[in-house]
Structure 1
Amino acid sequence: MHHRHYDVLVIGSGGGTKISTPASHLGLKAAIIEKDRLGGTCLNRGCIPSKMLIHAAEVADHISTAAKYNLKPAGFEVDFQALVQRVSETIDGESDSILPAYRKNENLDYYHGEAVFTGERQVTVRGFTLTADKVYIATGSRPRIPDIPGLDKVPFLTSTEALRLEKQPKRLVVLGGGYIATELAFYYSALGTDVDLIVRSSMLRAEDGQVREAFTKAFQRHADIHLQANITKVAFENDTYTIEVTGRDGKVQTLESDALLIAAGVVPNSDRLNLKAAGVKTDASGYIVVDDHLRTSAPNTWALGDVVGNYMFRHSVNVEGEYLFETTVAHPEDRPIDYGAMPHAVFTTPQVAGVGLTEEEARAQGNDYVVGFRNYSASAMGMALRSTEGFVKLLVDRSDRKIIGCHIIGHEASVLIHQVITLMQMKGTLDDLLSTIFIHPALNEIVRNAARDARAKLAAE
């Protein structure tokens, strides 16, 4: 077995590239290991292909709802296979473009295969034994497959397959109520598939309660929603799924479909690494345990991204990768990571976006706050959009008037929230937001109007 030693060794080609590539540019000898396609989950089977498909679904949804603008389109036909092939070819092209760049980099070696630890900072991969001064684990996560009787005997979909499925199902059953389940349910529904959504607890359960309630009501136009229910048995015969769904009251309902999507969360890709040999500890759920410097229990070994589970976003692992490069490679220093105002979004219709505390979290922590609230409909652009379900909600601390949370549901929520993210990151106040000039009649005025509501409530006390 061949042995090679590196300054920097990264396992995983998603967020891990924020360390390996810049390290090589400093003249350090770096290596990166990837068992699947280069680019990680986000590029190949996550946020990028899903948003390309969802945009087509949004266009279809605009056409389907055009009557509210006094437009009567003749309808549309979906070339489903061509859509999926176009997106897949684009994504594969992006992934394939990474390797030539690696091959031109004399300080970066790429190993395509599965890494297995055989000691501290020592792995084997495809006949090579690799050691390094510094090791970074960024192996991500994969769909969690629940224990459902019959599921192991049927050809179900996960998000990976659902993004590449070229034959549009007429009827789809989705297990899950999180962002992956709802985004994919919207994509299929808007293009004409009848969708049943089986939600074991509540829709988007990590969101602010008011947003969660509004979203559940709004999403009923995209799917038949079965709340506090679970799939308890699955069978597949003659290209048809028979799915037994048990509700909270114990009543059993049988659904039939021609596709079944399991989107019931994820598990970390830590179980195949032989982390015990590396001296790296995991928690009861398999996530790698790290401190506030992203250090594992093994010396000079760090972990980041989904396999850690602090945040499950591409933008968060980018922050972690850039932090580790700066503090452990480029300019080593003893500085804990500061995530700042970490935002998120759900790209359905309606969109959902959030940053900071939910009202439930603020209440549980004993924060003294006021709520600034404004419906989309109470704005010029909201009226133009004929919005019936969107709103902006701000949580403002009474003592220092800083915004401690913002939650938006509605058109372009993922865009609107950025002005609040910046404000929170800069430790700004409600008054800083209100001193900003907003373009009229841009949709952003709804954020200002919610801030004005908070100011009026503070003044009335």
Structure 2
Amino acid sequence: MSDQHYDVLVIGSGGGTKISTPASHLGLKAAIVEKDRLGGTCLNRGCIPSKMLIHAAEVAETISTASRYNLRPKGFEVDFEALVQRVSQTIDDESDSILPGYRKNENLHYYHGEARFVGDRTVSVRGKTLSADKVYIATGSRPRIPHIPGLDKVPFLTSTEALRLEKQPKKMIVVGGGYIATELAYYFSALGTDISMVVRSVLLRPEDAQVRAAFHKAFQRHAKVYHEATVDWVTFENGVYKMAICGEGGLKMELEGDALLIATGVVPNSDNLNLAAAGVETRPDGFIRVDDRLRTTAEGVWALGDVAGNFMFRHSVNLEGEYLFRTTIAEPCDEAIDYGAMPHAVFSSPQVAGVGETEDQLQARGADYVVGFRNYAASAMGMALRSEEGFVKILVNRADRKILGCHIIGHEASVLVHQVITLMQMKGTLDDLLATTFIHPALNEIVRNAARDARAKLQA
């Protein structure tokens, strides 16, 4: 017998709020459980604080590179502590503003604590037992800690601590090469920290190979990158980290720094939920097993977001939450989720953005396609920016001229890609893109010019 029974119970206050709040507005009795600060990973220790800090890095980089435009600023000083405190306070205020809204909602009950399943659709939270007709697990993920000899004996940083670090390191060692590692390395580097990156394979491995190669070349200005590297051991003594690595070709070397950031991916927050008690199964990698309707192996229990592992973005969990609210609560139906044209971006320098398949994937499945390509420099705005490394790459199916993918590296890549996202979502063709009038000389013209290149190749 539970202490409280609900129509809807959501575990996790990030993307899960896309279900709990609108359900309560329908008059349903809803509960949300959160063990940390309200707002989830994105607000408190992910995309929002990181982008606020990265914007400061972008401003610093603009000042540092002003001589390219015949400007000679006198440089800048970094009030690192004030920067981090301002961002942290803004984030905390935003998180704190959520609870008063919950308290005004008589249909939504908030429980602060860790939920553990004790039976079918029943959890225990700080001594209280809660049950519900429908349960949604949205507990997210946390930084993955790799096995490195000596790591358990040193005070390393993960992304969580790095975003709150108020003393700027002079020399930082970063282990990892994904989007979290490259974004944070850029942030610290642009503000004056000397960065060494230890990367197991290559930077941004999931990206299109051409983008990946261009990014690796460009990122050398921000960090000394040791790719195809493994870590033999790490120590910390008198404020100094020492790390022995084996780099490309078996080259042995030793790195030193006054800060160590571990950014080697994430693991799902599924291990402390006692899922077995509810009949919820996980995959071998720890992510909760879901079908194409986000149903778990337990009746009346769904999972979404990082813990389900389909996509690891805030925009994807928002889509999942809205889908679940509609298909399981507002307008119940047996409709599979459609992720459509799911995009991504890396807010480093240069920026990277993509949607759809990469050329590597198209080649692997033997697709018949053409590549539309245009460098930033071959455009009016690209010339104004004095771009040396950016490009737009559009992949077009030869038979029906549908766009299969678009991959961009360069200034505002995360913005430029959106017009292609919309086109792909609407099942549009290359001709639809070319029929659009582009503002001259906006940066977006590069996308059109890449499309023109694809058209020329289709006509050849």
TM-score by length of 1: 0.99
Q: State the one-letter code of the partner of 1:62.
A: T
**CA distance in 1: counterparts of 2:245 and 2:187, whole angstroms:** 23
Measured after TM superposition, the shift of residue 249 of structure 1 is 2.8
Matched residues in 1 for 2:394 and 2:91: separation? Answer: 37
Residue matched to 2:225 = 225
Query: Secondary structure of 2:9's partner?
Result: strand
Q: 1:83-115: per-residue Cα shift (whole Å, max 9, x none)?
A: 000000000000000000000000000000000
Q: CA–CA distance in 1 between the matches of 2:315 and 2:139?
A: 16
The 2-side partners of 1:85 and 1:230 are apart by 35
- Stretches of structure 2 that go unaligned for 5 or more consecutive residues are none
- Corresponding residue for residue 166 of structure 2: 166
> 2:373 touches 2:454 (CA, 8 Å); kept in 1?
yes
Q: Tell me what 1:396 maps to.
A: 396
> Does 310-319 or 241-250 show the bigger shift?
241-250
* Structure 1 Cα separation of the partners of residues 171 and 287 of structure 2: 35
Give the aligned residue type for 2:287.
Y
Partners of 2:150 and 2:457 lie apart in 1 by 56
Note the 1:67-146 alignment, pairs <5 A. 67-146=67-146
Tell me which residue corresponds to 2:422.
422
| Equivalent AA in structure 1 for residue 387 of structure 2 | S
Matched, 1:182 2:173: no
Cα distance in 1 for residues equivalent to 2:252 and 2:213? 25
Q: Counterpart amino acid of 1:364?
A: A
Q: What's the secondary structure of 2:295's corresponding residue?
A: coil
Q: How is 1:55-454 mapped onto 2 (pairs within 5 angstroms)?
A: 55-454=55-454
CA distance in 2, matches of 1:426, 1:367: 21
Distance 1:306 1:2 in 2: 28
Please, which moves more after superposition, 363-372 or 263-272? 363-372
Question: In 2, Cα distance between the equivalents of 1:293 and 1:248?
Answer: 43
Shift of 1:252: 1.9
Deviation of the 1:250 alpha carbon = 2.8
Is the Cα–Cα contact under 8 Å of residues 2 and 131 in structure 2 kept in the other structure? Answer: no
Q: Distance in 2 between matches of 1:221 and 1:27?
A: 55
Once residues 365 and 422 of structure 1 are traced to their aligned partners in structure 2, the CA distance between those partners, rounded to angstroms, is 25
Asked if 1 retains the 8 angstrom alpha-carbon contact of 2:226 and 2:248, the reply is: no
Report the aligned-residue RMSD. Answer: 0.7
CA distance in 1, matches of 2:24, 2:272: 27
Distance in 2, Cα, partners of 1:237 & 1:455? 60
Partner amino acid for 2:58?
A: E
Residue by residue over 1:144-191, the C-alpha shift from the partner in whole angstroms, topping out at 9 and shown as x without a partner, is 000111101110000000000000000000000000000000000000
Whole-angstrom CA distance in 2 between matches of 1:246 and 1:395: 37
> Does the residue aligned with 1:42 lie in a helix, a strand or coil?
helix
Matched residues in 1 for 2:244 and 2:122: separation? 47
Q: Report how many residues are paired.
A: 460
1:2 deviates by 6.4
Contact 1:159 1:261 in 2 (8 A): yes
C-alpha distance in 2 between matches for 1:226 and 1:240 = 20
Deviation at 1:282, TM superposition (A): 0.4
Give distance in 2, aligned partners of 1:48 and 1:98.
16
State how far apart, in whole Å, the 2-side matches of 1:414 and 1:44 are. Answer: 22
Counterpart-to-counterpart distance in 1, 2:22 and 2:170: 47
Aligned residues of 1:381 and 1:442 also touching (Cα < 8 A): yes
Q: Identity of aligned pairs, percent?
A: 77
Amino acid corresponding to residue 197 of structure 1 in structure 2: M
Aligned CA distance change for structure 1 residues 61 and 8 (closer, same or farther; 3 Å): same
Give the Cα separation in 1 of the matches to 2:249 and 2:279.
Answer: 47
**Equivalent position amino acid for 2:59 in 1:** V
TM-score normalised to structure 2 length: 0.99
Check the 8 A contact 1:2/1:127 in 2, yes or no.
no
Instruction: Quote the Cα distance in structure 1 between the aligned partners of 2:121 and 2:231.
Output: 43
- In structure 1, how many angstroms separate the alpha carbons of the residues matched to 2:231 and 2:71? 41
